Amino acid sequence: MKTGRRINVDIALVIGALALTLFGLAIVFSAGHTDFRTPATGAWKAQLVWTLVGIAGAFGVSRASVRLIEWLTVPVYVFTIILLVALLVGFGSGAGTATSTSGWLTIAGHRLGQPAELAKLTVVLMLARVLGQNRVAPKSMIDLWKPMVVAGLPLLLIMAQGDLGTSIVFIGIFFAMLFWAGVPWQLLLLLASPVISLILGFDPRIWGAWFMLLIALVLWYKPFIGEGLFVVAANVITGIVGPLLWEHMPRYRQNRLLVFLDPSVDPRGSGYHVIQSMTAIGSGGWLGRGYLNGPQKRLAFLPEQYTDFIFAVVGEELGFVGVMIALALFLFLFLRVIRISERANDSFSSLVAFGLLASWFTHVLENVGMTMNLMPITGIPLPFFSYGGSFMLACWLAVGVLARISSEGRGGMSGPLRV
């Protein structure tokens, strides 16, 4: 550190990420601890290797200036799009709870990684670049066409793979970054309104009430007449088309959504995951069944216990106290990243930091919420916990980028722990 350019390490950020990683590794180890062999047995070794690779990668990234990253953004983004297209033309295969999807880049039978993980990073960078160029915050939809294209293109490609979950992450990143870029909340709401209509369209009365509110919002915010009409039309279409779309949805996806509403609809099929997950968590009590000893995990009642449902292992074995500690660590990390965004030197850095936060936040909310049936079941992993090489690498590369932004940021971001 003394030689070359001096970097101030954001100790709070690194310690927060390290604490979560160690916690996660311990749980992956426990997840492999079952009475009969499961794929999770011994998975912790690979996870440890990937963690070390990730930390090394983070260190490497933190040596690179933000300007270099900014300069690399466009080529990396293009490369990501190429990979995502490659998945659709025969290089993809599925895994985990999402075996029906094709998220894995596979060449000659070897799984090389999940381009979607890379896309989460590059979309954040690209959005930051596009939004950072604006002198004034966008006030109308037409001003937002660039970010829409940047986020929308990979989103559509990933949805085409059949991966509904990951596309939720992109929506989270997109809205969070628009928010951070100063887009008014009214505009964000108008932007989101067709999706809301789609969901509320199942009940005509609720949708009617929502539609009235929307009209009021349009009259109050006074967007361009064309945009206002467009939003209203879009809402009418989704609110009415929604139920029709449902009819044409594949059965398994319908089931997932139905089971989200009531897991007992199908306890042996689609509801099985959630019921077992909630049983594991609920039986944990205050202090849990003891590390390595959770029966739901040990006896393989809990599915995907080392990937998508790893948080249920925390709940079962370490109880409410363990859950509280894990969520507190996440909160600590999140608040730290908000701070980094606030203090970043330039708009690109600030937006990147906030976009990475948005990505993690969406993952945590969706994954943890899913284990408690607060969110639909999607194959979204839990940062720093879920077993998976590319994801762990992506998380630590993000830490590296954040560390760099932090060190370049204004005023006392390095040194003593401050949140």
Partner 1 sequence: MSFHPNDIVRRGRAATVICCGVLVFLLSAFFRAQVLKNQEYALQSEENRLRQIPTAAPRGRILDRNNKPIAENVVGYSVALLPQNEDTLRTTLTRLRTVVQLTNKQFEDAVGRFRRDRNRPTVIIQDASFDVVSVLEEHHQDFPSLIIQSAPKRIYPDGQAVGGFIGYISEISQGELAELTKEGYKAGQLVGKAGLEKQYEKELRGREGIKFVEVDARNRIVPNGRAREDVTPAEGPTLYTNIDLDLQEFMHTLFADTIEAGAVAMVPQTGEVLAMYSSPAIDPNRFVGGVSAAYYDSLRNDPRLPLYNKVLQSKQPPGSTFKLATSVMALQDSLITFDTRMPQPCNGYYYFGNRTWHCWRKEGHGSVNLFGAIAQSCDVYFYQLGQKLTLSRIIAGGVGLNFDKRSGIDLPEETRPDFPATGAEYFNKKYGARGWTPGSMELNLAIGQGENSQTILNMAKFYSALATDGTERVPMIKRGAPKVAGKLTLASDQLALLRKAMAGVVQAGGTAAAAAIQGISVAGKTGTAQTMRMSKNGKPLYWAWFAGMAPADNPKVVVVVMFPDVEFEGATAAGFATKIIERYLKVKVDANSIERTG
Q: Point out which residues bind partner 1 (CB under 8 A).
A: 34-36, 131-137, 179-182, 276, 278-286, 295-296, 298-301, 315, 319-320, 323-324, 327, 330-331, 334-335, 338-339, 341-342, 347, 350-351, 354, 357, 361, 365, 368-369, 372, 374
Please give the distance of CA 6 from its chain centroid, rounded to a whole number: 32
In the complex, what is the shortest distance from the CB of residue 107 to partner 1, in angstroms, rounded to a whole number?
34
Closer CB to partner 1, 255 or 279, in the complex: 279
Residues 337, 356: contact at Cβ < 8 Å? yes
Closer CB to partner 1, 48 or 300, in the complex: 300
| Lookup: tokens for 204 | 């005509």
Closer CB to partner 1, 250 or 285, in the complex: 285
In the complex, what is the shortest distance from the CB of residue 347 to partner 1, in angstroms, rounded to a whole number?
5
Closer CB to partner 1, 119 or 125, in the complex: 125
- The answer for residues whose C-beta is within 8 angstroms of residue 282's C-beta and 6 or more apart is 315
In the complex, what is the shortest distance from the CB of residue 316 to partner 1, in angstroms, rounded to a whole number?
8
Inter-axis angle of helices 115-132 and 66-86, nearest 10: 130
Closer CB to partner 1, 1 or 36, in the complex: 36
- Cα separation, 203 vs 300, in Å, equals 39
Burial (CB count <10 Å: 0-12, 13-18, 19+), residue 377? buried
In the complex, what is the shortest distance from the CB of residue 351 to partner 1, in angstroms, rounded to a whole number?
8
Give, rounded to a whole angstrom, the gap between the first and last alpha carbons of the chain. 24
In the complex, what is the shortest distance from the CB of residue 84 to partner 1, in angstroms, rounded to a whole number?
27
- Cα separation, 79 vs 83, in Å, equals 6
In the complex, what is the shortest distance from the CB of residue 306 to partner 1, in angstroms, rounded to a whole number?
15
Ordered alpha helix ranges (H), 248-289 = 251-261, 272-282
In the complex, what is the shortest distance from the CB of residue 128 to partner 1, in angstroms, rounded to a whole number?
10
Closer CB to partner 1, 193 or 367, in the complex: 367
In the complex, what is the shortest distance from the CB of residue 106 to partner 1, in angstroms, rounded to a whole number?
29
The closest alpha carbon to 356, from 180, 96, 217, belongs to 180
Residues 190, 181: contact at Cβ < 8 Å? no
| Lookup: tokens for 69 | 């990253």
DSSP 104: E
Q: HSE on the CB side for 103, CA within 13 Å?
A: 29
SS3 377: coil
In the complex, what is the shortest distance from the CB of residue 354 to partner 1, in angstroms, rounded to a whole number?
7
In the complex, what is the shortest distance from the CB of residue 238 to partner 1, in angstroms, rounded to a whole number?
25
Closer CB to partner 1, 64 or 278, in the complex: 278
Residues 164, 253: contact at Cβ < 8 Å? yes
Element (H, E) at 121: helix 115-132
Closer CB to partner 1, 91 or 320, in the complex: 320
- Cα separation, 393 vs 418, in Å, equals 26
Closer CB to partner 1, 110 or 135, in the complex: 135
Closer CB to partner 1, 178 or 393, in the complex: 178
- Cα separation, 9 vs 46, in Å, equals 27
Residues 326, 314: contact at Cβ < 8 Å? yes
